[in-house]
Amino acid sequence: MAHGKGQGHIRDLGIDGSFTGQAVMEELGRAYSRKTINPPWNKRYRLELIRSHGIRFREDISIGEDKLFNLEYALHCESCRTSSAPLYHVSTEVADSLSRKPRGDLQEQFARLDAGLDALLSDESFPAECRLPFRKADNFLRYRAVYAQAKRMHRAGAPRSERLRTIRRMCRELGRQRLPVPSGRFCLMICTPVRLRMAWLIDLAAHKLAG
């Protein structure tokens, strides 16, 4: 995996190095939590691994299908190498980008994505110690997704009442799942307002993130 550069900022994947054994899962788990594992453009793949395990992009998902592909690929990895060199320059400000357009089926797509992630992270054909770093990272990302959705609604000009209603609904859904809160001060800072359903605070943070 290599760094990408977007909006003038290098996205840090970690250190330069080669990893084998459990260290592979720990390193890829860190990339997963920073969402640098998602895009295919900053990686090189072994074609024989993809073919031998039948790894494919899901055609029924239009949000996060690259994340599912890369997670499944990562769970089969026995070694990986990371580079801190900024090998790619990626524009994230394309006005007509599909990822930036309003979507009427966002909740349905996210539900499919979450179901696909759960299926992979619960698949006992992969050793539990391999799945654990990704499960911890995925729990954190699900909490953070509440802020991301609120930020999207701010940028789309959604009224405050609609934003708060959506935030509360997402908080309730996460509460029903009873996801463990990952350790660390930053994780607690993100997760606690969601667990306490502090919609006004999440909305305020999203407003600042939306710029």
Spacing of C-alpha 37 from chain mean position = 8
Instruction: Report the range out of 8-12, 27-31, 78-82, 156-160 with the highest average pLDDT.
Output: 156-160
Please give the residue that has the higher pLDDT: either 88 or 27: 27
Predicted confidence at residue 197, as pLDDT, reads 95
- Grade residue 17 by pLDDT with cuts at 50, 70 and 90: confident
Predicted confidence at residue 9, as pLDDT, reads 35
- Grade residue 160 by pLDDT with cuts at 50, 70 and 90: very high
Predicted confidence at residue 7, as pLDDT, reads 37
Burial annotation 78-115 (CB, 10 A radius, 16+ → b, else e): eebebbeeeeeeeeeeeeeeeeeeeeeeeeebbebbbe
- Grade residue 3 by pLDDT with cuts at 50, 70 and 90: very low
The yes-or-no verdict on residue 149 having pLDDT over 60 is yes
Return d(Cα 139, Cα 211) in angstroms, integer: 26
What pTM, to 2 d.p., does this model score? 0.72
Return d(Cα 149, Cα 166) in angstroms, integer: 8
The yes-or-no verdict on residue 26 having pLDDT over 60 is yes
The yes-or-no verdict on residue 70 having pLDDT over 50 is yes
Predicted confidence at residue 12, as pLDDT, reads 44
pLDDT tens-digit readout, 131-144: 888 888 888 889 99
The yes-or-no verdict on residue 95 having pLDDT over 70 is no
The mean per-residue pLDDT over the stretch 182-201 comes to: 90
The yes-or-no verdict on residue 167 having pLDDT over 90 is yes
Predicted confidence at residue 190, as pLDDT, reads 92
Spacing of C-alpha 34 from chain mean position = 7
Is residue 102 within 8 A of residue 156, CB to CB? The reply is: yes
Predicted confidence at residue 86, as pLDDT, reads 76
The yes-or-no verdict on residue 80 having pLDDT over 90 is no
